[in-house]
């Protein structure tokens, strides 16, 4: 084993400084190196718990709008193999066979509090942020697809085909697993996920996004006011997507 030597760049800079001091020091306090101010935001805090409330008692047309908004925002869709193409969010129709009552709802990553996908990941690529958003770190995802098998909601997809034309905020590549990110790039800027904004833009109140930990948030008030359900609560994974009318 050879130990990698770190280069002392400060020492080099000092050696150079003697030669170029006259060039750099224009006036006291004035430097040629002007580094722009970088206003960093974050890190994500466990004080927040992002969640969604979906009202299935609504015109089912809005779910198509939500799916299309997701495709447009994140750059998936458009493949020719429906069985294997990535699918971050899908419209599911259900029917009660006894009463004949029908409903339609969008299903995407449920951003579980105890995510099985994170439990099974052999590399640590599947991870949960402090604020509850479950993500895939594609830098270290090896594409084994254990998480896809572990997910009770079948919400993860494997990228089988080469990808091009990715969005700057959403790198995607063949051989990795991906799923709904709850539009983490928008949430970190204080915006709603793209699907929620698209549904709201139609004047519908069918999707709501917010902080479930904040008792004064709209979503917390709605969840405390109406009876909501989450899918497969029997598994104890504590999903953060709530549904009404299913």
Partner 1 sequence: MRSAIKFLSLAILGLAILGGGLASPVNAGEVPLPNPAKAFKGEQCVEPVDVMRRDHMTFLKHQRDETLREGVRGNKYSLNECIACHAVKSPDVAGGKVRTLKPFCAECHAYAAVSIDCFQCHTGAAQ
Could you tell me the smallest distance in angstroms from the CB atom of residue 210 to partner 1? 17
- Rounded (5°) CA angle 55-216-203: 35
CA distance 33 to 13: 13
Residues in 160-179 that interact with partner 1 by CB under 8 A: 163, 165-168, 171-174, 176
3-class secondary-structure state, position 71: helix
CA distance 183 to 129: 13
Could you tell me the smallest distance in angstroms from the CB atom of residue 55 to partner 1? 28
Region of 85-93, 123-131, 205-213, 223-231 interacting with partner 1 (CB under 8 A): 123-131
Can you say how many angstroms the Cα of residue 57 is from the centroid of all Cα atoms in its chain?
26
Cβ partners under 8 Å of residue 143, min gap 6: 158, 175, 176, 177
Could you tell me the smallest distance in angstroms from the CB atom of residue 183 to partner 1? 13
3-class secondary-structure state, position 18: helix
Instruction: Please give the helix or strand (H or E) that residue 219 lies within, else none.
Output: helix 218-225
CA distance 238 to 218: 20
Site mask, partner 1, residues 177-206, x = CB under 8 A? -------x---xx-----------------
Region of 41-49, 94-102, 146-154, 222-230 interacting with partner 1 (CB under 8 A): 41-49
Residues in 68-87 that interact with partner 1 by CB under 8 A: none
Could you tell me the smallest distance in angstroms from the CB atom of residue 135 to partner 1? 7
Comparison of 33 and 100: residue with beta carbon closer to partner 1: 33
Instruction: Specify the DSSP class assigned to residue 233.
Output: G
CA distance 147 to 191: 28
21, 27, 30, 38: which one binds partner 1 (CB under 8 A): 38
Which of 152, 63, 52, 53 has the alpha carbon at shortest distance from 104?
63
Could you tell me the smallest distance in angstroms from the CB atom of residue 168 to partner 1? 6
- Rule CB under 8 A: say whether 43 interacts with partner 1: yes
Tell how strand 241-244 and strand 50-55 pair up.
Answer: parallel
Could you tell me the smallest distance in angstroms from the CB atom of residue 137 to partner 1? 6
Give the relative orientation of helices 61-74 and 194-201 as an angle to the nearest 10 degrees: 140
- Rule CB under 8 A: say whether 143 interacts with partner 1: no
Residues in 2-31 that interact with partner 1 by CB under 8 A: 7, 9, 12-13
Positions touching partner 1 (CB under 8 A) are 7, 9, 12-13, 32-36, 38-44, 127, 129-131, 135, 137-139, 163, 165-168, 171-174, 176, 184, 188-189
């Amino acid at each position: 084993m050879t130990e990698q030597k770190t280069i002392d760049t400060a020492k080099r800079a000092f050696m150079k400084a003697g030669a170029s001091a006259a060039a750099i020091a224009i006036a006291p306090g004035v430097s040629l190196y002007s580094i722009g101010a970088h206003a960093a935001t974050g890190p994500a805090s466990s004080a927040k718990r992002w969640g969604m409330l979906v009202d299935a008692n609504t015109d089912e047309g809005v779910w198509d709008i939500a799916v299309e908004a997701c495709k447009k925002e994140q750059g998936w869709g458009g493949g020719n193999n429906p069985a294997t193409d990535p699918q971050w969010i899908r419209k599911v129709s259900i029917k009660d066979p006894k009463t004949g009552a029908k409903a339609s709802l969008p299903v995407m990553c449920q951003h579980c509090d105890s995510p099985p996908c994170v439990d099974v990941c052999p590399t640590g690529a599947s991870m949960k942020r402090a604020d509850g958003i479950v993500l895939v770190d594609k830098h270290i995802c090896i594409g084994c697809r254990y998480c896809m098998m572990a997910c009770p909601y079948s919400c993860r997809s494997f990228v089988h085909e080469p990808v091009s034309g990715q969005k700057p905020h959403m790198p995607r590549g063949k051989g990795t697993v991906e799923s709904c990110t709850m539009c983490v790039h928008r949430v970190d800027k204080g915006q709603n996920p793209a699907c929620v904004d698209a549904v709201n833009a139609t004047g519908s109140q069918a999707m709501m996004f917010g902080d479930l930990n904040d008792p004064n948030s709209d979503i917390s008030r709605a969840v405390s006011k109406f009876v909501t359900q989450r899918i497969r609560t029997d598994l104890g994974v504590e999903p953060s997507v709530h549904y009404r009318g299913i």
